[in-house]
């Protein structure tokens, strides 16, 4: 393995991690406020769909990203209404919403274009080489010649961490996830806050889906997220419910997926299916390793009932 | 979680009144209380929303639904197809219902079906010198064992390491499905076939037909038997009683000395076995070989069926038939009217969300 291969692997890792990271940060918001984020798979897919369709129809990638966030948020609001308002089971509702989005996107893709799914080819957004950093030999060009949205994903961690640890709104959000009764007694409305957290998380996950469709793949196909939302969910847990931890988690899973793609060209004596299993097996193994010591938001999964 | 704890609370007494509730709301709530009413209402609402979507796509929803009905029940062959489609959903849905009842959120039916299919195929193709009448049940049994092993693995990781069972079962779904592909590109694959599939199974071990001249195989009989067995298991045995207590309250279960670890393991193994049987039935009764992706979407349908049945084992049978015939009809609808069959996912997803909301809202009343 020479230097170029490592650089290539690093670039692929960053590229694959980006959509995961958006989804994981979105899911983190939702989980911190006390709602399991099983629905991020569906929110991602909704974002991928609205993002790709609007970029395809309007020919504008920026608009695609904006509408992708909207699509994710819309999915989130359905989930928020069902889980927070109607106290529907969070896990199973998330699952139901995932399938709903899968069906809806597949149906609309055909229904809106006269019965046949259009072939969507998108030009990925241009790269922004960072001054100086991109001049670093070998690693510079691969790591610091990315599109703006990639930097955004990784930079987002800073404001999100500050929000969750230093601002009143962020602390209230976490209080709702830990002890909604206490937050309620202090004058906050846990149901409303949980709903906002899910919808905001949905917007982020939608962006993640758009990154996948607009940048990584350059097209939309039915069910294209293919479990990435669940991997993001695992990344949140592996990262112990912190934004920085989520980066680590996403990079790990991104790296394994990158390995999976490269392993074929390196001619490793492992079948491609076994390689495809790797991210899921690794997720399970990592979760098995950290779960005992991880502390979930105390009131996660428990619906708030106003007495 | 909340779906389970308040499902079958007997409510003979009139619901306590709260002054703030409007009359209409209380009427609606009482309507939501019954399983059948709840399911019907949820399905009707879902069909209504879907009709709007069909309208948006420029088709006539009435024509589409007529084509769906005709596709589901239009001929003997269509009906046979619908029954065959329902069979794995009923089998796997039973297991999911039992798990959910015990507050174990097993959504791993898809992987368990996939691995069960592998087990059944491996035995069927093993070349054992046995008469078909013996090899067939043996192959199905292998499906059961493999399915149970897969769910047991999830339960083991979940119980031993404290990983939430939802994630364990979800992640193992992906692995199980990929395992089918791996086997079909390796030991079980048919050399030279253009499609990832196993060789055709010997005709002697195909599931016998229930009605000569149709595709209807005896799987549906197995599903009915399994339904009755699960009903008895759940309502008439100590195991079922323990599951019910566990579902109502883990703490209560612990106080009366019920080990929730042991019960979780048992109910997961039961569910995995049923799902594995569904996988075996698909292989031996429908495809006569293992094919890639044969279990796609089954796991979710099993969850949908269980919820539609309000986790009541006996109600799983009609719920499974509903979903099975809905899918069968939707495939015909796509052919006839050109409305994409992916609409079924929309109907199912919406139905589930509505049922879950109804259950959630009902939970409040039992706590008031």
Lowest mean pLDDT of A95-99, A134-138, B302-306, name the range: A134-138
A116: three-class secondary structure by DSSP: coil
Q: What is the mean pLDDT of residues B264-287?
A: 97
Position B334 scores a pLDDT of 87
Which letter, b or e, does each residue of B56-89 get, where b requires 16 or more Cβ atoms within 10 Å of its Cβ?
A: ebebebeebbebbeebbeeeeebbbbbbbbbbbb
Q: What is the mean pLDDT of residues A40-54?
A: 95
Inside any domain, residue A253:
yes
Among candidate residues B73, B76, B53, B51, the one with its CA nearest the CA of residue B63: B51
Query: Is residue B15 pLDDT above 70, yes or no?
Result: no
pLDDT band at A131 (very low <50, low <70, confident <90, very high): confident
Inside any domain, residue A2:
no
Q: Which domains does chain B have, with CATH numbers?
A: 15-59+340-368 (no CATH), 78-338 (1.10.3470)
- Give the residue from chain B lying closest to A238, CA to CA: B163
Distance from CA of B304 to the nearest CA of A (A): 8
Strands (E), chain A: 127-129, 145-147
Quick one: what percent of chain A has pLDDT higher than 90?
56
Inside any domain, residue A141:
no
Q: Are B58 and A111 within 8 A, CB to CB?
A: yes
Query: Is residue B8 pLDDT above 50, yes or no?
Result: no
Torsion of CA A92, A96, A98, A100, to 10 degrees: -170
Q: What CATH number has the domain bearing residue A64?
A: 1.10.3470
CA dist., res. A116 & res. A119, Å (int): 9
Q: Which domain holds residue A196?
A: 8-120+146-290
Residues of A (186-225) whose Cβ lies below 8 Å from B: 222
Give the model confidence (pLDDT) of B61-89 as tens digits.
999 999 999 999 999 999 999 999 999 99
Angle between helices A3-32 and A148-155 (to 10 degrees): 50
Position A119 scores a pLDDT of 75
Query: Is residue B33 pLDDT above 70, yes or no?
Result: no
Position A297 scores a pLDDT of 86
Position B368 scores a pLDDT of 24
The residue ranking higher by pLDDT, A137 or A51, is A51
Position A2 scores a pLDDT of 75
Q: What is the mean pLDDT of residues A222-228?
A: 91
Give the model confidence (pLDDT) of B288-325 as tens digits.
999 999 998 899 999 999 988 888 999 999 999 999 99
Lowest mean pLDDT of A92-101, A130-139, B91-100, name the range: A130-139
Q: Are A82 and B357 within 8 A, CB to CB?
A: yes
pLDDT band at B6 (very low <50, low <70, confident <90, very high): very low
Position A44 scores a pLDDT of 97
In sequence order, what are the beta bridge partners of A146? A128
Position B24 scores a pLDDT of 59
Give the model confidence (pLDDT) of A281-305 as tens digits.
998 998 888 876 667 888 888 888 8
Quick one: what percent of chain B has pLDDT higher than 70?
89
Distance from CA of A58 to the nearest CA of B (A): 20
Inside any domain, residue A134:
no
Assembly ipTM: 0.90
Quick one: what percent of chain A has pLDDT higher than 70?
97
Query: Is residue B216 pLDDT above 90, yes or no?
Result: yes
Q: Are B167 and A303 within 8 A, CB to CB?
A: no
Query: Is residue A254 pLDDT above 70, yes or no?
Result: yes
pLDDT band at B247 (very low <50, low <70, confident <90, very high): confident
CA B198 to chain centre: 25
Helices (H) and strands (E) in chain A, counts: 13, 2
Lowest mean pLDDT of A120-129, A183-192, B105-114, name the range: A120-129
Position B106 scores a pLDDT of 94
Give the model confidence (pLDDT) of A29-41 as tens digits.
999 999 999 999 9
HEC string of chain B equals: CHHHHCCCCCCCCCCCCCCCCCHHHHHHHHHHHCHHHHHHHHHHHHHHHHHHHHHHCCCCHHHHHHHHHHHHHCCHHHHHHHHHHHHHHHHHHHHHHHHHHCCCCCCCHHHHHHHHHHHHHHHHCCCCCCCHHHHHHHHHHHHHHHHHHHHHHHHHHHHHHCCCHHHHHHHHHHHHHHHHHHHHCCCCCCCCCCCCECCCCCHHHCCCECCCCCCCECHHHHHHHHHHHHHHHHHHCHHHHHHHHHHHCHHHHHHCCCCHHHHHHHHHHHHHHHHHHHHHHHHHHHHCCCECCCCCCHHHHHHHHHHHCCCCHHHHHHHHHHHHHHHHHHHHHHHHHCCCCCHHHHHHHHHHHHHHHHHHHHHHHHHC
The rounded mean pLDDT for chain B is 87
CA dist., res. A217 & res. B185, Å (int): 26
Quick one: what percent of chain B has pLDDT higher than 90?
61
Give contacts of A93 with chain B, Cβ < 8 Å. 352-353, 356
Position B5 scores a pLDDT of 45
In sequence order, what are the beta bridge partners of B291? B197
- Alpha carbon of A168 to those of A184, A284, A299, A300, B258: distances in Å? 15, 35, 19, 20, 44
Number of domains in chain A: 1
Inside any domain, residue A94:
yes
Query: Is residue A136 pLDDT above 90, yes or no?
Result: no
Query: Is residue A20 pLDDT above 80, yes or no?
Result: yes
CA dist., res. A78 & res. B353, Å (int): 9
Query: Is residue B1 pLDDT above 50, yes or no?
Result: no
Inside any domain, residue A167:
yes
Position A148 scores a pLDDT of 84
Inside any domain, residue A229:
yes
Inside any domain, residue A242:
yes
Q: How many CB pairs under 8 A join A and B?
A: 176
Asked whether A170 and A38 are in contact (CB, 8 A), the reply is no
Give contacts of A283 with chain B, Cβ < 8 Å. 167, 171
- Give the residue from chain B lying closest to A282, CA to CA: B171
Q: Are A87 and B172 within 8 A, CB to CB?
A: no
């Amino acid at each position: 393995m020479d230097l170029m291969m490592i650089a290539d692997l690093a670039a692929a890792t960053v590229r694959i991690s980006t959509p995961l990271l958006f989804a994981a940060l979105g899911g983190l918001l939702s989980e911190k406020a006390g709602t399991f984020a099983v629905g991020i798979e569906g929110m991602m897919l909704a974002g991928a769909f609205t993002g790709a369709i609007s970029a395809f129809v309007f020919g504008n990638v920026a608009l695609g990203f904006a509408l992708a966030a909207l699509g994710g948020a819309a999915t989130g609001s359905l989930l928020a209404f069902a889980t927070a308002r109607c106290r529907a089971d969070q896990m199973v509702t998330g699952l139901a919403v995932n399938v709903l989005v899968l069906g809806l996107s597949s149906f609309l893709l055909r229904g809106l274009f006269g019965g046949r799914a259009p072939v969507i080819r998108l030009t990925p957004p241009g790269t922004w080489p960072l001054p100086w950093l991109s001049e670093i030999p070998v690693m510079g060009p691969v790591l610091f010649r990315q599109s703006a949205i990639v930097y955004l994903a990784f930079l987002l961690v800073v404001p999100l961490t500050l929000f969750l640890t230093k601002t009143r709104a962020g602390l209230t959000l976490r209080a709702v996830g830990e002890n909604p009764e206490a937050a309620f007694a202090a004058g906050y409305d846990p149901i409303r806050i949980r709903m906002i957290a899910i919808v905001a998380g949905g917007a982020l996950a939608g962006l993640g889906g758009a990154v996948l469709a607009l940048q990584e793949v350059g097209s939309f196909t039915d069910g294209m997220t293919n479990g990435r939302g669940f991997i993001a969910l695992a990344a949140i847990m592996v990262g112990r419910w912190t934004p920085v931890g989520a980066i680590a988690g996403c990079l790990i899973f991104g790296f394994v997926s990158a390995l999976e793609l490269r392993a074929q060209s390196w001619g490793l004596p492992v079948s491609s299916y076994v390689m495809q299993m790797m991210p899921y097996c690794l997720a399970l193994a990592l979760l098995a390793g950290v779960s005992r010591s991880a502390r979930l938001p105390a009131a996660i999964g428990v619906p708030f009932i106003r007495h | 979680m909340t779906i389970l704890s308040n499902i079958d609370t007997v409510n003979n007494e009139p619901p306590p009144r709260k002054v703030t509730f409007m009359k209409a709301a209380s009427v609606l709530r009482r309507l939501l209380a019954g399983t059948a009413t709840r399911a019907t209402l949820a399905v009707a609402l879902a069909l209504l929303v879907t009709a709007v979507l069909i309208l948006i796509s420029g088709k006539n929803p009435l024509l589409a639904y007529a084509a769906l009905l005709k596709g589901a029940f239009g001929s003997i062959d269509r009906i046979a197809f619908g029954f065959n489609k329902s069979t794995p959903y009923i089998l796997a849905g039973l297991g999911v219902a039992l798990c959910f009842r015990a507050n174990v959120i097993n959504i791993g039916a898809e992987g368990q079906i996939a691995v069960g299919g592998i087990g059944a195929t491996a035995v069927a193709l093993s070349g054992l010198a046995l008469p078909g009448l013996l090899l067939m049940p043996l192959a199905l049994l292998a499906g059961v064992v493999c399915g149970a092993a897969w769910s047991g693995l999830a339960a083991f990781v979940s119980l031993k390491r404290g990983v939430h069972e939802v994630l364990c079962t979800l992640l193992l779904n992906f692995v199980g499905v990929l395992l089918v592909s791996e086997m079909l590109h390796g030991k079980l694959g048919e050399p030279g076939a253009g499609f990832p599939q196993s060789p055709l199974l010997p005709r002697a071990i195909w599931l016998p037909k229930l009605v000569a001249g149709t595709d209807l195989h005896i799987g549906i009989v197995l599903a009915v038997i399994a339904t009755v067995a699960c009903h008895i298991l759940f309502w008439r045995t100590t195991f079922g009683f323990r599951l019910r207590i566990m579902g109502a309250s883990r703490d209560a279960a612990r106080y009366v000395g019920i080990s929730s670890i042991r019960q979780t393991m048992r109910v997961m193994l039961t569910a995995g076995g049923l799902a594995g049987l569904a996988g075996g039935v698909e292989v031996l009764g429908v495809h006569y070989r293992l094919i890639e992706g044969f279990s796609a979407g089954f796991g979710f349908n099993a969850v949908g069926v269980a919820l539609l049945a309000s986790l009541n084992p006996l109600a799983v049978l009609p719920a499974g038939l509903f979903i099975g015939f809905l899918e069968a009809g939707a495939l015909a609808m796509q052919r006839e009217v050109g409305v994409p069959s992916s609409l079924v996912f929309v109907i199912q997803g919406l139905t589930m969300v509505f049922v879950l909301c109804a259950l959630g809202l009902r939970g409040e009343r039992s706590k008031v």
